[in-house]
Amino acid sequence: MKRLFAAALAALSLLSLTACASSDEPEQAPEAPPAAEEPEVPEPEPTPEELAAAEIEDLLASLTLDQKVGQLFFVRCPDSGAAEDVSAYHLGGYVLFGRDFQDAAGAWLTREQFTAAVQSYQDAAAADTGIPLLIGSDEEGGTVTRASRNPNLFEKPFSSPQKLAAQATEHGSIFSEDAWEKSSALLALGINVNLAPVADVSTDPADFIYDRALGQDAAATADYVAQVVTAMRESGIGSVLKHFPGYGSNADTHTGIALDQRSLETFRQSDFLPFAAGIEAGAGTTAVLVSHNIMAAVDPDLPASLSPAVHDLLREELGFTGVAMTDDLAMDAVAAYAQDGAVAVMALEAGNDLIITTDYRTQIPKVLEAVENGTLSMDTIDTACRRVLTWKQALGLL
């Protein structure tokens, strides 16, 4: 019995020692799970603005020098060979005047005849660069009307800003309504740019520009311009603010030089206000036409259209990043300033992006020659062409 008890006691002691030994051993930590791979962060989707800019860069890179230069010319439509010249000079667009709404005998074109002619120009552009043309006309209303003088296209010419203002009620939106009606009718004819509104401030009936202007002060003119440009933008037609830096009481530059002696502060407090309002309202669909007036306070030696200093004002002080275009370079006010007749070269050097001229058959070769001999840089051409293409894109043409 004693033996059994001793054996049991020994076994119990052994078990106790085993348990103690087991509890003294450090516990093994559980294995950590494998590190999860960091998920790949997807590249952010490009914004619509980035996509639009990339489209322009691709298109710009695909053009030859001749094609880029041609895009910088928004020219008076010739009375013959218009479709052929689109291809020969790779033109950016045609500006239509009164004769372009008539046939060779002076009879008014029918709607079918007119739209067929415009379509033939666009077909030529499609076959050449694939870039649609700007088709513009001056449809200001009143003394300057083109398309609406054709009775086959319109019941009557559009009214002047002053006549509209006289019909306006306190809560009316007659300027917007007129701009909508006008823009819709022009677009239906294939005209995608109206060289309007007149943003000049003029309150003196003796001024050359008075009949074409609103005829009221800067604040009222700025409100008028904003309404018109907004309606034009929403309808899908391009607008052109004219005539920067503001015509004032200057003489007609179609017939000679006009020297504006007003101070820069006067422009800032008055003339610039309608342009600033139009630039804001246009949101990329408006261009600015620069006059041939000499702005003595900024550049007493050159017409505004040929002055880098005046264009710097437009870009830096008014913050305009869109298309700056010349008034017609065939006007007498600029003829005396061109070296060897290369007025378009001077205009591009000054900072214009689009050249309005009748003399494109002479001016385009001069621009090409200036690039080839280093007078004009490729950067100048590319910058201007980029702005022109971006304007066409904003108007839904590309």
CB atoms within 10 A of CB 106: 7
What CA–CA distances, in Å, run from 36 to 33, 116, 301? 8, 67, 72
pLDDT at res. 258:
84
Residue 366 has pLDDT above 90, yes or no: yes
pLDDT at res. 4:
39
312 Cβ neighbours under 8 A, 6+ residues apart: 351
Q: What are the strands of the beta sheet with 286-290, ordered from one edge?
A: 74-76, 93-96, 134-137, 193-194, 238-244, 286-290, 324-326
Structure tokens at 263: 């101070």
Place of tokens 């006009």: 258
Question: Is the previous residue joined to 292 through a cis bond, with omega within 30 degrees of 0?
Answer: no
Residue 3 has pLDDT above 50, yes or no: no
Looking at the chain, how many residues does it have?
398
pLDDT at res. 11:
43
pLDDT at res. 230:
98
Structure tokens at 80: 């013959």
Give the separation between CA 283 and CA 106, rounded to whole angstroms: 39
**Which region among 144-148, 230-234, 334-338, 364-368 has the lowest average model confidence (pLDDT)?**
334-338
Give the separation between CA 94 and CA 108, rounded to whole angstroms: 19
Parallel, antiparallel, or unpaired: how do β-strands 238-244 and 286-290 relate?
A: parallel
pLDDT at res. 39:
74
**190-219: per-residue pLDDT in tens?**
999 999 999 999 999 999 999 999 999 999
Place of tokens 């010349």: 326
169 secondary structure, DSSP code: -
**Domain at 63-394: CATH architecture:** Alpha-Beta Barrel (3.20)
**252-297: per-residue pLDDT in tens?**
666 567 889 999 999 999 999 999 999 999 999 999 999 999 999 9
pLDDT at res. 338:
79
Structure tokens at 121: 């120009």
Give the separation between CA 258 and CA 375, rounded to whole angstroms: 28
**Which region among 104-118, 226-240, 291-305, 332-346 has the lowest average model confidence (pLDDT)?**
332-346
| The model's pTM | 0.88
Judge whether 95 and 79 are in contact, CB under 8 Å: no
Question: Is the previous residue joined to 300 through a cis bond, with omega within 30 degrees of 0?
Answer: no
221 Cβ neighbours under 8 A, 6+ residues apart: 199, 200, 201, 213, 214, 273, 274
Residue 16 has pLDDT above 80, yes or no: no
Structure tokens at 44: 């952010």
pLDDT at res. 375:
93
pLDDT at res. 206:
92
CB atoms within 10 A of CB 321: 11
- Domain boundaries defined on the chain: 63-394
Top-confidence residue, 250 or 265: 265
